[in-house]
Chain A
Amino acid sequence: MKLLNYTSKYLAILLVPLITVWAVIFYYAMLDEIYDSLDDGLENQKVLLLQKLPTNPEILQHNDLDLWNHAITPISKQQYEKFEDRNSDTLMYMLNEQDFEPVRIYETKLAYNDHYYKVKFITSMVEEDDLIQDLVVYLIVLYVSLMIAIVILNNLMLKKIWKPFHNLMWQLRDFRIEKNDQITTMPTNIEEFRLLNASITTLIDQSRARYLEQQHFIENASHELQTPLAISINKLELFLENSNLPEDNVKTMASVLDNLGRLTRLNKSLLLLSKIENRQFVDEERIDFNQLTAEVIGDFQDLAAHKNIDLQLESVSKLTFRMNKDLAVILLNNLIKNSIVHGQQNNTVTVKIQTKTISISNFGSAKPLDSDIIFSRFKKLSSDNKSTGLGLAIAKAISEKYGIELTYSYSEQHIFKLTFS
């Protein structure tokens, strides 16, 4: 949920009890005021009646409440003396509404020419159920309009206020430390955002410095390893040329040489990986993948034949893509080599080129590989101790550099697929 809606949600929840409590208080306050003014009106009627009585004594005959809105009943003196004015509510049948409706009654007394009377005044009252109904309707309208106003205001104001923050978030979402793109912060007057901008800038600068340091460490370490490796390999090769060495010595030397060779390959792969990540392959050209794949496959025919693997190329359509040529060769090499090395003997490895994809499939172990880790460094999935565990990681690094999608899937065959965008 967005921050914007989050605050709106809390406001919406908070407003419900607030408006309800307010409505109850308002209702009673209003009702009180209505009673007050009704009672005043009824008392006023009494004053009017008394004024009219001397000229219209027949008023005293009015005893039908429905007709006159007042009823006068004679009472005895004792009753008169004991009687106290009172206001009360009751229901009366209203013809127009054809229902009993609440009315306010004012009962009082009057004395006229030594006769004593009790007088009842009535007036139509506010219908409480209608009042409540109306009140609820209006309150809902108020609530809804308040919410709409709040959401609109929130949207307009908060959006404006939070703009530097959202801008930063968008950039951070796409941020990759290995890419050299910068985070640009928006100038803002809000202190918290200024602090955030400053912190993020510092954090990113520091992380990138560490990252580069680490990258260069790998690169420098690999470079430094080359010379001692070269010296050891060459010394052993010179030693091997002594023709009078016994066979087991030669074999031991050869085995040491093999392992030094592995170390060399590992070192070269690491160096290559950090070079790709350090963006040291700048030159790009449009690569004809049909032709290049054919060349690479040609190079691997001997290796495939040795494993009795039928290495096939299916060029369904033309595919060209702009990238560094060396990296294109390495990419194809690593994937095809991987398929041959792990491919099943006496079976096929197929490279298929379509409009936007190259897929390399081989038969092999009957269960799919863990696609989450096969592209990680040093994740060897076979017991093959001669592989460096970096071939697929390098392929992944190359494809990521050019936005090519490299995926693994399994359906009878192990399939590595390059999707060019």
Chain B
Amino acid sequence: MKLLIIEDEPEMLENMAQTLKREHYIVESASDYTSALEKIAVYDYDCILLDITLPDGNGLELLKELKSKGKDEGVIIVSAKDSLDDRLEGLNLGADDYLPKPFHMAELHARVKAVLRRRHFDGNSYIHIGNVSIQPENRYVTINDHEVVLNRKEYDILMYLITNKTRLVTKSALAEHVWGDHIDQSDSFDFIYSQIKNLRKKLEQATINIEAVYGVGYKLETV
């Protein structure tokens, strides 16, 4: 899988490149409009992470350029300007997703994977991890071919942890992903524990394990 990150902030670019490389993607980068334009003209990518505010142009123009060339790369707009207009315009122009800064690395993985999955398997893919297999399109989960019924939150937690497997996912990242942004002001994220507890119970037969890491977050490990 080949990704292109278009981002003018060098440190931001480095962070994103580093974390995505750990997932074994081939990562290329461009830090301004001109070089980004060259790259998308010459190469094909599976997914492009696109910053809207570039020093020499607007990322949305790049998106238009891309679509006018008939390229069907998945595009995730990454923007510090969390504005409704940009979001709507971006999605109308054919972007797959919109990720406002700042975001958690775990969230970036989840978004990238979701886009890649939608693009490449047309929803007919199964995710296999240990003896667990998941059909994301139907939210259908089996352990050793036996169906396990998960509620919405349990499923979202499981998918998020699988997407970020063997990485530490902080409680706040998990809460924001599963319960939504608005949960953010609550006094602590400890309330997610009861859902984790239920999920663990349902995964007793599975060869995957949700480990708590020093009360900071969770990590999914295969046994």
A residues touching B (Cβ–Cβ < 8 Å)?
223-224, 226-227, 229-231, 233-235, 237-238, 240-241, 243, 247, 250-251, 253-254, 257-258, 261, 264-265, 268, 271, 275, 280-281, 299-300, 302-303, 305-307, 326, 329-330, 333, 337, 340-341, 384, 386-388, 391
Contact = CB atoms under 8 A, between A and B. Distances in A.
Interface string B76-88: 0000111111000
B192 A240 contact: no
Contact of A341 (B16, B85, B187): B187
B48 to A, nearest CB: 18
Interface stretch (B120-128, B134-142, B210-218): B210-218
B205 interface: no
Interface stretch (B31-39, B62-70, B110-118, B167-175): B167-175
B216 A231 contact: no
B207 interface: no
A353 B90 CA distance: 37
Q: Helix, strand, loop or mixed for chain A's interface?
A: helix
A227 B12 contact: yes
A307 B81 CA distance: 35
Contacts of B104: 233-234, 237
B106 interface: yes
Contact of B84 (A226, A258, A281, A387): A281
Given A237-B19, A247-B214, A303-B183, 20 more contacts: A226-B80, A229-B102, A230-B12, A230-B101, A230-B102, A234-B103, A234-B104, A234-B105, A240-B216, A250-B213, A251-B214, A264-B102, A268-B82, A299-B183, A302-B194, A303-B191, A340-B186, A384-B187, A386-B187, A387-B185
B183 A306 contact: no
A167 B104 CA distance: 56
Contacts of A384: 187
B18 interface: yes
Interface in B178-193: 179-188, 190-193
B89 interface: no
Contacts of B216: 240, 250-251, 253-254
Contacts of B106: 237
B15 interface: yes
Nearest to A391: B185
A57 B172 CA distance: 139
